[in-house]
Copies of this chain bind each other. A is one copy, B any other.
Amino acid sequence: MQESLKSILSEAGIEDELIQEIQKVGFPKTARSGELIITPGSTSMHMPIVLEGLLSVVRQDEEANEILLYYLEGGETCAMSLACCIEGKRNDFKVTAEDNSVLWMIPMNYMDEWIQNYRSFRKYVFSSYQTRFDELLETIDSITFLNLYERLYKYLLDKKQATKSYEINMSHEQIAQHLNTSRVVVSRLLKQLENEGKIELERNRISIL
């Protein structure tokens, strides 16, 4: 675990000195596939770095309708929690482990100091902000400019990308929630995708061809 943390940070250009500090003050956290990691309304005091696995970040409204914003894959971090913490704001997200996952949690109070002292860490944090921002934009693009058929297909391809697997183990109901639509609609469109030879359907599994 320490190894994977080290290689992720060093890949990001962080110097050994800071890596050691991150190892010292942080701690690991594991989550089983399906486990809820952050609930809306909570306030977290840590910035998580994903060492292994896959997290989904989902937005919810008052009536518990949902939409998937983006995934956090191995090696990625979510600097967004920074501001959420600095400004004492509440979390507006639901973060779920889509897979058995390992995180490295860094207490927030070191952030400002590191941002000040390490150019590499500044870059790391800003780059994380920017990546999240770009992903939100892509989500907006999908919702706005694609119809549901296209969005669904893109969803499957993105999931394939994120899990590096051609097999998606989800029920239609779960997919419908990520897209904020109904199960019936998803089933209908999935069947269409199958008829067009783009996917293959089984119970709790979709294979991308």
* A145 (CB) vs chain B CBs: closest residue: B61
| CB of A185 within 8 Å of the partner chain | no
Contact, CB under 8 Å: B83 / A129:
yes
| CB of A2 within 8 Å of the partner chain | no
Complex CA–CA separation, A14 to B130 (angstroms) = 24
| CB of A183 within 8 Å of the partner chain | no
How many of these chains are in the complex? 2
The majority secondary structure among interface residues of chain A is helix
The answer, among B82, B83, B129, B136, for a CB contact under 8 Å with A140, is: B136
Complex CA–CA separation, A83 to B132 (angstroms) = 12
User: What residues make up the interface of A, taking CB atoms closer than 8 Å to B?
Assistant: 59, 61, 65, 67, 69, 80, 82-84, 86-87, 92, 112, 115-116, 119, 122-123, 126-127, 129-130, 132-133, 136-137, 139-141, 143-145, 180
Q: What are 15 pairs between A and B in contact, CB < 8 Å?
A: A59-B140, A61-B144, A65-B145, A80-B133, A83-B130, A84-B130, A87-B127, A112-B119, A116-B122, A129-B133, A133-B133, A133-B136, A136-B137, A143-B143, A143-B144
